[in-house]
Structure 1
Amino acid sequence: MASTKNLPLLLLLLLITITIITTTSSPLPPSLSVEQYKTARKIIDAMISGGSFEDWSEAFLATNDELKGPVLNSTLFLPKTSVEGINATSPLVAAYHIVPQLLGFNNISLMKPFSRLPTLLSGNSIVVTNNSASGFTLDGVLISEPDLFVSPSIVIHRIASPFNFSRYGDDDI
């Protein structure tokens, strides 16, 4: 009889532990509201389900549509080609290619070198590495087609290759 007396307390402790584990292991930044977090999760899940960078744009637009529910005002950096070792199906890679704010090329081009763009990958930012007119780069990657798609809530820029968050991304660098 004494063992069942503590069962509600044990269940509560288990629930708290599971909540802490699932919320701290998320690649998304804590600055998002619950609704934005859910939208961001749907976007990332849709992007990585396609299996390639070519599928990202369609998945991003389909899941971040005002007609289908809440949107996440955001900018997607869409890789043109693949690079060995950077997997298009990784939620961390997908989250690192999305900045949760609208950034048209006119805004980005005014940023100074080493400025940081916080991404959906918590604790990671994209770095402006070259702001010259001859070759604007972020994380050392050329923006090959700026403003590929622009709407009131979404901007997509084509980049020459995927970003590598293990090289530039850490906000502590």
Structure 2
Amino acid sequence: MPNGSSKRKMRQATSCKQLDFDWRQSSQGSNNRDVMVEIDACTIGPQLSVDPADRLFVPLAASPFNWFQSGQKKWELRRFGRQYTPKHVRVGRRVELRKGYKGPESIWGEVLDVVEANGLDDFFNKVDFKEVIPVASTREDAVQIASDILRVGSSTPLLGFCVVKL
């Protein structure tokens, strides 16, 4: 294989003083794989040497991100389509849950389970609402919150996936 053409790139070690551990940052152009680089960024959990094309990227609002971070939220629920189909969301696939699209905070995990549903009622018959919307006090409350966030009708196809943090 020609030099530099492998799908996975070795990552440079980067110190993150705010969290007091080392994490890996991709450096596509670097040939020096043992260089320690100081940057002003943080991450939650270990960074994995996963090619961005090999992971499922899931941008989250601040509250859902914090629920995942605290362990209260275990399931993510999305409209069925585009990257949220069984072809892309499958058991064992690496997931990057990121606060926003470009923020420095991310949680790395793996898909543990995938559930397809025809609407919120169907989904919450299969998955405990507290593991999806931990602030909901009742199932009906969870349906209303999820409906407002996703802007879905009663029979809109959905895909939910359970994420275990790595």
TM-score normalised to structure 2 length: 0.29
Q: More helix by proportion, 1 or 2?
A: 1
After TM superposition, the score normalised by the length of structure 1 is 0.29
